[in-house]
Each structure stands twice: as C-alpha cells, then as structure tokens.
Structure 1
Amino acid sequence: MSTNQQRHLLRLVLSCRKLTAQVTNPSTSTIIAMASSTEQEFLAQYRARLARFPLSRHNIWDASMASRVGEKLGFRLKEIGITSIGIDLDEELSRPVHHRKRVLPLFDSVKRVGVDVDGAEKLGEIGPV
C-alpha cells in the first residue's frame, strides 16, 4: 500500500456482553469485513456464560474468545485480499486496562493469520496491562 493512501481501519466495539471487530474502508467508512462474539460458532459458549449464577457481567467474553474473533476476521480479510490494516491507537489507549488486556490476543491472532496490524505493537509497549 502506498504511503499516500490511507490504510483500512480496524475498530472494536466492546461491551460487557459482546465483542465486535470491524474493518472499514477509509474513504467511504463502509464496513468491509466483520467478526463478532455473537456469531453462530460462539453461541453455545455465550449462552452458557449467561446462564451462570451469579452472573458476572465482566466475563461474557474473554481473551480466548477475542483471539478466535480475531482469527475469523483475519481469514475474512485475507479472503478479500487485504493484508494490512491499522488501528486508532488513541482510541485503544483510552479503553480501560481490563479491556485492553483482553483485546490484545485479537490483534495477535489477526497477525498470525497473515494480516499486518499497524499500531498494535505500541499497545504492548505501554507496560503491564
């Protein structure tokens, strides 16, 4: 990708119940690839965690689920020919520490699939999360 061209942007939508990763086209802001913890393959695990008593709202999705969502997203990006994406570092650094800790495996799994995630390496440099 040339230096004057903007990179596709990976944005995360986080709540206590779900994690959604979406990659947008920088010129049109349209979503070109997406993966979520509410997809069919995660449904059984999602329901089991909701049925636990007492319900712990902070444990519906975790780092292992984030990793699997990242892997799914990475494969979808590779399928459409995208090999490099960027993140909004300021947005990621503004997240609470417990969310940053759980989304780092998402970025790692996207990289393992073969899609470069520009800016994710700086999240690991911020110290222990």
Structure 2
Amino acid sequence: MRSRDGNHSITLRIFSIILLSSLVLNAGEYLISYKYVVKNSILYNEHLEISKSMKKCNGNPAQFLILTSDGTKNFKNIISKNSEKFISFISKIGLNIQSTQKSINNQLNATTIMTLKTSCFKVDFNDNFAKITHLK
C-alpha cells in the first residue's frame, strides 16, 4: 500500500510543472524604445518602437505596471489603449533628456529631446490584464 505522503509529492510536482508552463506560455519579452521631441514648446515628434525580443533578455525584474487588456494578447494594442499610463511608467524608469537653446537675432530656438534607450520588458498576459515588468 502507498502512503499519502508519496502521492502528495507527485501531485505537487505535476501541479508545479503545469503552473510554470502556463506562465511561460503567456509571457513574452519585448524591446521598447521611446523618443519625444519638442521644438519651441510645440510637440514636433513622438515615436514609440515595440518589437518582440528574439533572444532571452538578461536582467532582474525591477518596476512593474499592470494594464487592462480586454482579453487581447496584442501588446501594441494594449499600449495604445493605455498610452498615458505607459508613458508615465517609462518616465519613472529613466529618460535621457537633451535640451538646447539658441538665440539668433533675439529669436529663441529651444529643442528638448527625451529618449528611453532600448530596454527589455517582460510582459505577462492574463485574461483581463497584462503585467509589464522592466528588466534591469
């Protein structure tokens, strides 16, 4: 006769394998870069580039953001629906800011460029939300 303890460890192993495989299948790593250009207090250009990572990203999870997804697993659509939250999230991670001001004939020309260098993010998709984690 088998003891219940022996059956418990086998059940726990099977459950953990199923759980981990489901987490891996619903997760993806993406490379994201962002550039925002303002000239003379007017938005000149804004560019957000998102691409699926072809290699595994190395790094430790840092900050995360949870966005509603309405059941879709298209990361670009999720970001476009929640763009303000995502932009404020990446601004907390760290944007490089370059500002120049030139005065020619008493006319001021100012340019400010904010960029997020290409960074890796891990995205976990669930039924109603997506968890976006920055990897450092």
TM-score by length of 2: 0.25
Structure with more helix by fraction? 1
TM-score by length of 1: 0.26
Return the index of the structure with the highest Cα Rg.
Answer: 2
Structure number with greater CO (CA < 8 Å, separation at least 6) is 2
Structure with more strand by fraction? 2
